[in-house]
């Protein structure tokens, strides 16, 4: 991709700063803007329930992977149409995916913390928070395993892997679509569990949990 922005050449690594900037910006806006607006719409003290926030947060990476797949498909099409021409697709087209991931992290993290502190027994609140961080670490190992499995499964008959050294010869877009599908399955599983969950207050909403406040 074209890493030149104006007169500056942007290396790939700093692109993750869009994720960090999104988190820094959205965390204060969440309480000051989103919660009051949602409170006016739903009549609930916290706007939406904790599980609804987590569900929305889990949906964001699915959108990010779908956007990444579409971008990679367009890049591959252009690269294969003119193999000798430099890629004209700006690296900044990757920024929206990082922003979506950042939005998902904010919603999921805040929702998890609120859920654990509001629903877990007093003696388990800290343990539940630690388990949430453990799940993040486990996800890192799982993603490494998944990448290795995809590399092995797609190397058949001498065909190039989905993620070869030269991305123009591979199908990174298929890997992104695979991640989007897995994200959808994860979201469906979460939604199924959330709907059957009964809060400690004994009330349920459309996503399993009703926060304290007027209906």
Domain carrying residue 61:
4-121+173-196
Asked whether residue 64 is domain-assigned, the answer is yes
Asked whether residue 130 is domain-assigned, the answer is no
The pLDDT value recorded for residue 158 is 67
3-state secondary structure of 139: helix
User: Once rounded to an integer, what is the mean pLDDT over residues 42-50?
Assistant: 82
- Dist CA 27 CA 6 (whole Å): 30
For the ranges 39-43, 52-56, 189-193, the lowest mean pLDDT is seen at 39-43
Compute the half-sphere exposure of residue 96: CA atoms within 13 Å on the CB side of its CA. Answer: 12
Asked whether residue 148 is domain-assigned, the answer is no
- Dist CA 200 CA 197 (whole Å): 10
The pLDDT value recorded for residue 181 is 96
Domain count, the chain: 1
Asked whether residue 210 is domain-assigned, the answer is no
Instruction: Please give the residue that has the higher pLDDT: either 4 or 127.
Output: 127
Is the pLDDT confidence value at 204 over 70? no
The answer to whether residues 198 and 80 touch, using CB atoms and an 8 Å cutoff, is no
Average per-residue pLDDT for the chain: 83
Is the pLDDT confidence value at 3 over 90? no
Asked whether residue 201 is domain-assigned, the answer is no
- Dist CA 39 CA 98 (whole Å): 28
3-state secondary structure of 4: strand
207 by Cβ neighbours in 10 Å (0-12 / 13-18 / 19+) ranks as buried
For the ranges 76-85, 95-104, 105-114, 142-151, the lowest mean pLDDT is seen at 76-85
User: Once rounded to an integer, what is the mean pLDDT over residues 133-148?
Assistant: 89
Q: What is the pTM of this model?
A: 0.81
Asked whether residue 19 is domain-assigned, the answer is yes
- Dist CA 123 CA 109 (whole Å): 20
High-pLDDT (> 70) share of the chain, %: 89
The pLDDT value recorded for residue 129 is 82
Copy the structure tokens of residue 8.
């500056």
């Amino acid at each position: 991709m074209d890493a030149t922005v104006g007169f500056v050449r942007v290396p790939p690594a700093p692109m993750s700063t869009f994720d960090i900037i999104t988190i820094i910006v959205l965390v204060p806006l969440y309480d000051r803007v989103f919660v009051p607006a949602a409170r006016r719409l739903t009549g609930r003290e916290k706007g939406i329930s904790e599980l609804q926030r987590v569900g929305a947060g889990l949906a964001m990476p699915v959108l990010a992977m779908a956007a990444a797949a579409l971008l990679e498909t367009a890049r591959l099409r252009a690269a294969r149409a003119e193999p000798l021409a430099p890629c004209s697709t700006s690296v900044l087209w990757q920024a929206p995916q990082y922003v979506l991931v950042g939005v998902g992290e904010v919603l999921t993290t805040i929702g998890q913390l609120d859920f654990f502190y509001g629903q877990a027994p007093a003696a388990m609140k800290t343990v539940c928070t630690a388990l949430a961080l453990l799940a993040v670490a486990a996800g890192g190992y799982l993603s490494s395993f998944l990448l290795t499995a995809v590399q092995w499964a797609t190397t058949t008959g001498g065909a190039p892997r989905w993620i070869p050294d030269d991305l123009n010869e591979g199908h990174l877009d298929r890997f992104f679509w695979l991640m989007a599908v897995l994200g959808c399955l994860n979201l469906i599983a979460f939604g199924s569990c959330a709907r059957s969950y009964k809060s400690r207050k004994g009330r349920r909403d459309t996503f399993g949990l009703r926060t304290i406040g007027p209906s």
